[in-house]
């Protein structure tokens, strides 16, 4: 009888030792599924979309207008104006990807008249992005990311609109590195990125700073303005300026935007000529 009790005690101790030695595995969080969807008119937005998709190994989908905007620049402008004025949503081809299967959706577009191009408006009207995380990205002549984001918030009130990326069509050579930094800074990629300091308080421009502003906007037909105040901060290999400028007389330029105040971002790197990166009106 004693030997039988001893066997039971040994068995119990063995089971205890085995159970203590086993480690419970914590289930790994499943990586969010990402889709890059974009409309591109001149291939600039397409280049940004492909760069993002490549770096994230994300799926990619192009928004294609049934009736392409294949006229000249002026014809495209006139059609875009009409669609915007009349609330026309141009037909787009059916998507091949199932939007419901994705958690994060990067939406890319060229900026037309201060917001996303009409085919993107059609896309937003046709899909339900409730509960999704949306990352906007865009290409533009002078700016429009901020105003486009405001329209996205209105169009998709039940989605989470995350910080976006925008680049001037004239600065596409800087795009790959900027996309890399953007994705790392916002947690989509691991790796080092440059965290810039906030701009300090602005001060009245001096003669040298005014020359930087004038050189940056020289030759760009949609900016006819005078810099009033400025703040600067260090960036890799150079300096970034944030100018507050005021439009000059519009009497002889009826094609210009309404006169007012604007913010103009300008960079000077590696001794190169000043270049503006975006305008916020």
Tens digits of per-residue pLDDT, 88-101? 999 999 999 999 99
Is residue 12 situated within a structural domain?
no
pLDDT, position 252: 65
Asked if the structure places residue 196 within a domain, the reply is no
Same domain as 161, residue 81: yes
CA 14 to chain centre: 59
Give the per-residue pLDDT at 6. 40
Asked whether residue 195 is assigned to any structural domain, the reply reads: no
Place of tokens 């009130």: 157
**Residues in CB range of 220: below 8 A, 6 or more apart:** 142, 276
**pLDDT confidence band for 20 (50 / 70 / 90):** very low
Q: Check whether residue 208 and residue 251 sit in a common domain.
A: yes
Instruction: Return the pLDDT at 71.
Output: 75
Residue 213: both structure tokens together:
């502003």
Residue 23 lies in a domain: no
138 plus 217 within the same structural domain:
no
In this prediction, residue 127 carries a pLDDT of 96
Tens digits of residue pLDDT in 45-84: 999 999 999 999 999 999 999 999 987 888 998 999 899 8
Residue 136 and residue 210 in one domain: no
Q: Structurally, how many domains does the chain consist of?
A: 2
| pLDDT higher than 70, residue 17 | no
Q: What is the predicted pLDDT for the residue at 25?
A: 57
pLDDT of residue 72: 83
50 and 169 share one domain: yes
Q: List pLDDT tens digits, range 225-253.
A: 999 999 999 999 999 999 999 999 766 66
% of the chain exceeding 90 in pLDDT: 78
> pTM to 2 decimals?
0.87
Which residues make Cβ contacts (< 8 Å) with residue 264, sequence separation at least 6?
A: 213, 216, 217, 223, 225, 227, 242, 243, 244, 245, 276, 278, 279
Query: Which residues contact residue 274 at a Cβ distance below 8 angstroms, ignoring those fewer than 6 apart?
Result: 212, 213, 215, 216, 241, 266, 267, 268
Residues 50 and 171 in one domain: yes
Q: What is the token pair recorded at 141?
A: 């002549």
pLDDT value at 24 more than 90:
no
Same domain, 171 and 214: no
Same domain, 145 and 213: no
Domain interval for residue 117:
34-185
CATH code at position 65: 3.40.50.360
> Looking at residues 132-151, what average pLDDT do you find?
97
Instruction: Give 165-191 pLDDT, tens digit per residue.
Output: 999 999 999 999 999 999 999 999 999
Q: Give the DSSP letter of residue 214.
A: H
Q: Residue 211 has which token pair?
A: 């020359």
pLDDT at 42: 92
User: Which pLDDT score, from 0 to 100, does residue 257 have?
Assistant: 63
Indicate if 111 and 224 belong to the same structural domain.
no
Averaged pLDDT of the chain: 90
Q: Quick check: 143 pLDDT over 70? A: yes
Q: Is residue 25 part of a domain?
A: no
Q: Does residue 107 have a pLDDT over 70?
A: yes
Q: How confident is the model at residue 16 (pLDDT cuts 50, 70, 90)?
A: very low
Domain assignment present for 84? yes
Q: Which long-range contacts (CB under 8 A, 24 or more apart) does 210-216 make?
A: 212/241, 212/266, 212/268, 212/274, 213/241, 213/243, 213/245, 213/264, 213/266, 213/274, 215/273, 215/274, 216/264, 216/266, 216/274, 216/275, 216/276
Q: Looking at residues 110-115, what average pLDDT do you find? A: 95
pLDDT at 29: 65
Mean pLDDT score, 100-119? 96
């Amino acid at each position: 009888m004693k030997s039988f009790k001893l066997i039971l005690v040994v068995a119990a101790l063995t089971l205890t030792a085995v159970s203590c030695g086993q480690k419970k595995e914590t289930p790994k969080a499943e990586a969010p599924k990402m889709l890059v969807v974009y409309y591109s008119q001149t291939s600039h937005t397409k280049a940004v979309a492909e760069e993002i998709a490549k770096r994230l190994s994300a799926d990619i989908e192009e928004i294609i207008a049934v009736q392409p905007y294949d006229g000249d620049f002026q014809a495209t402008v006139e059609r875009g104006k009409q669609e915007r004025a009349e609330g026309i949503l141009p037909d787009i081809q059916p998507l091949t990807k199932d939007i419901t299967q994705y958690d994060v959706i990067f939406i890319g577009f060229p900026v037309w008249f201060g917001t996303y191009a009409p085919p993107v408006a059609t896309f937003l009207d046709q899909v339900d992005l409730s509960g999704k995380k949306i990352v906007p990205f865009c290409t533009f002549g002078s700016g429009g990311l901020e105003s486009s984001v405001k329209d996205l918030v209105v169009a998709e009130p039940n989605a989470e609109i995350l910080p976006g990326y925008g680049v001037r069509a004239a600065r596409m050579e800087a795009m790959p590195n900027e996309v890399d930094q953007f994705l790392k800074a916002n947690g989509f990629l691991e790796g080092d990125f440059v965290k810039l300091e906030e701009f300090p308080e602005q001060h009245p421009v001096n003669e040298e700073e005014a020359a930087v502003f004038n050189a940056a906007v020289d030759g760009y037909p949609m900016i006819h303005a005078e810099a009033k105040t400025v703040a600067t901060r260090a960036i890799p290999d150079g300096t970034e300026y944030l100018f507050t400028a005021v439009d000059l007389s519009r009497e002889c330029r009826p094609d210009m935007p309404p006169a007012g105040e604007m913010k103009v971002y300008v960079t000077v790197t590696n001794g190169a000529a000043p270049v503006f990166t975006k305008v916020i009106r």
